[in-house]
Amino acid sequence: MSLEQRITRAWQQDSHWLKLLLPLSWLFRVISSWRRHYLQSRYQGQCFDAPVVIVGNISVGGSGKTPLILALISACKQRGFKPGVVSRGYGGKAPSYPLAVTAETSVAESGDEPLLIAKLAQCPVVVHADRNAAVAHLLSHNDCDLVFSDDGLQHYRLHRDIEIVVVDGQRGFGNGRCLPAGPLRESPRRLQQADFVVVNGGTGAALVSGNIPSAQMQIAPRRMTQLNSGISQSIGQWLIEHQVKTVHAVAAIGNPQRFADTLASLGLEVELHSHDDHQALAAGDLSFEDDLAVIVTAKDAVKLRGSGPNQRHGNDSIANNIWVLEIEAQIESDFIDRLVGQLQSLKTAD
């Protein structure tokens, strides 16, 4: 178990030794609150030519931001918007920035999440640590009338018109403490200032209080795609054809257990092999001493395809046994309607 995984488990279990870090957490909370108010008072109001929608969270680790962004892009396209996406591009290192990401961009330059969005959403994507520069580049080089920021809730130098905070409905806020004694980047009270809160999985009722507009989201498995060939099958077809009961699940994402739970919901017995978020998977991470199917996430698949699966494994039988679980975020239609209504009001105001 890696250090990242040990710390995450300690936060969830509220291990007693974390109390030693409470003074640092209190200091972090004060500084983060002051930083937010200072930067927003200085930069909020410096609008762009298109509304900017932040999709972020207040805790570290995966909460479901990327599936939500993909679903929102699709919904907004259907309603006539021309969206684009900006991202920090965590894990990537490009020769220069801003970096315009396409389906052909190297994952080593873009990072996994921006490349996944560019491939699946088929919309302009720009990566830059300075999201103001990313938005400016996106709008000046593309015909976009709407910008989604993948993460960036705490990037307070970036003007935002709408904030959507995603909360993991299973893990919640961990032990409720700020870093480093807990997983929170900001206090749960921060939700009171958001425009919308989306709870991913679980019941979520106890996580969102007051009059905060909230919605429920569920992750639904849609297809299995063979990593080597790109051939896709429906979940039902794949289960019937392969007649498998036990699979290896390999995931280098923020919440690997959610991935395992999704596979288990299909009636599979899952042997989970979890790795740190954004970690590049090596050949040994995908090879096992049996012939069970190996299933990876779509986020990990863009890294594997970018490296060439045949070269990585050197064995076609192994490569052909690696499958990608394609998922889709299901969101309450009322939330989409409210978001679109707010966006249309912003366009009218301009």
Domain CATH code at residue 282: 3.40.50
pLDDT at residue number 347: 79
- What CATH number does the domain containing 130 carry? 3.40.50.300
19 annotated to a ligand binding site = no
Whether 101 and 241 map to the same domain: the answer is no
Q: Is 63 annotated as a binding residue?
A: yes
Q: Phi/psi class of residue 184: alpha, beta or left (left: φ > 0; alpha: ψ in -120 to 50)?
A: beta
Comparing CA positions, the residue from 229, 205, 232, 200 lying closest to residue 216 is: 200
Check whether residue 212 and residue 245 sit in a common domain: no
Cα atoms in the Cβ-side hemisphere of radius 13 Å centred on 84: 24
Query: Hey, which of 56-65, 122-131, 275-284, 316-325 has the most confident mean pLDDT?
Result: 122-131
To the question of whether residue 59 is assigned a binding role by annotation, the answer is yes
Q: Is 66 part of any known ligand binding site?
A: yes
Asked whether residue 92 carries a pLDDT value surpassing 50, the answer given is: yes
Question: In terms of domains, do 109 and 143 share one?
Answer: yes
**CA geometry: angle at 283 spanning 270 and 322, to 5°?**
45
Q: What does the block give as tokens for 124?
A: 């302009």
Query: Based on the domain organization, do 30 and 149 belong to the same domain?
Result: yes
Do residues 205 and 65 share a domain?
A: yes
Continuous H helices in the chain: 3-13, 22-43, 65-78, 107-110, 112-121, 131-141, 235-242, 256-264, 298-307, 309-313, 316-319, 333-349
pLDDT tens, position by position, 154-200: 999 999 999 999 999 988 899 999 999 999 999 999 999 999 999 99
- Using pLDDT thresholds of 50, 70 and 90, give the confidence band for residue 318: low
207 lies in the same domain as 318:
no
Query: Are 289 and 213 members of one domain?
Result: no
CA distances 153 to 133, 290, 299, Å, are 16, 44, 21
Do 204 and 129 lie in one domain? The reply is: yes
Domain count, the chain: 2
Is 61 marked as a binding-site residue? yes
Name the residue range of residue 271's domain. 219-329
Structure tokens given for 254: 């923020």
Q: Are residues 65 and 188 in the same domain?
A: yes
User: How does residue 320 score in pLDDT terms, banded at 50, 70 and 90?
Assistant: confident
pLDDT of residue 157: 95
The average pLDDT across 250-261 equals: 94
pLDDT of residue 5: 86
- Residue 265 sits in the same domain as residue 287: yes
Q: Are residues 199 and 261 in the same domain?
A: no
**Mean pLDDT taken over the chain:** 92
Do 280 and 209 fall into the same domain? no
> Between these two residues, 62 and 27, which has the higher pLDDT value?
27
Predicted local confidence at residue 314, as pLDDT: 45
